[in-house]
Amino acid sequence: MDEKKKRIVIAIDGHSSSGKSTMAKDLARAIGYTYIDTGAMYRAVTLYCLRNGLFDGDNIRTDALREAIGKIEISFRPNPRTGRPDTYLNGENVEQEIRGMEVADKVSPVAALGFVRRALVAKQQEMGREKGVVMDGRDIGTVVFPDAELKIFVTASPEVRARRRLEELEAKGIAASYEEVLANVRKRDHIDSTRAESPLRQADDALVLDNSHLSIAEQQAWLLEQYHRVAGQ
């Protein structure tokens, strides 16, 4: 990393499947920062709930989860094959499992629980204490790091996001229909932006990026430019 550059916190928030994770991961790799996927942390808690019978249909057994939350250990470890971090739940690599439809379908109500958010936000603040992180999520620029030096809010139309999500799932060999994925994208948008606890909203000082019609390379160039502007040339 360039010594003359300021070490900063980069907060990337936005809608699900807006492509922000790809952007955030690539940026972190390009500038030698640590990438932290906070959505993966909410997904890992959801997987824990599924595996431990903490769902009753769509309802969560909140008392049982409240008791368990202190025992849920989430960490990230680099995967030498992909060059990106994998998510671990209590020591087990769950990267694949947390990306499936079952977890995607159940994660929003888990992420709406105040005690879950408080536990994960504290962990995220600890992970970013030394700066030099690119953190992606929904509330990074508003709640986790309101003083982040660079805040980006990424969005794209629901249709564009559903297409991208479908392609991602297909690439992983997970079967789903466009209608099902679009419905999931819309449902998650609604829950994420109307929940009482830290609803998804743009920080007043965030830069907005609508990437509906941008290529990954175009987004990356824009993002690097913002980084250099804030961290120094």
Tell me which residues touch ligand DC (CB under 6 A): 16, 38-39, 42-43, 107-108, 111, 137-139, 188, 192
Half-sphere exposure of 53 (CA within 13 A, CB side): 0
What is residue 78's three-state secondary structure?
Answer: strand
CB of 199 to ligand DC, least distance (A): 9
CB of 38 to ligand DC, least distance (A): 4
140 vs 223 by CB, closer to ligand DC: 140
5 vs 180 by CB, closer to ligand DC: 180
| Burial letters 209-231, b for 16+ CB under 10 A, else e | bebeebeeeebbebbeebbeebb
- The Cα-based distances of 166 to 18, 37, 181, 183, 196 in angstroms read 12, 20, 7, 12, 29
19 vs 31 by CB, closer to ligand DC: 19
CB of 105 to ligand DC, least distance (A): 10
26 vs 192 by CB, closer to ligand DC: 192
167 vs 225 by CB, closer to ligand DC: 167
d(Cα 144, Cα 123) in Å, to the nearest integer? 10
Closest CA to 121 of 95, 141, 107: 141
CB of 15 to ligand DC, least distance (A): 9
Residue type, 16: S
Q: With contact defined as beta carbons under 8 Å apart, do 41 and 74 qualify?
A: yes
CB of 122 to ligand DC, least distance (A): 13
Length of the chain counted residue by residue? 233
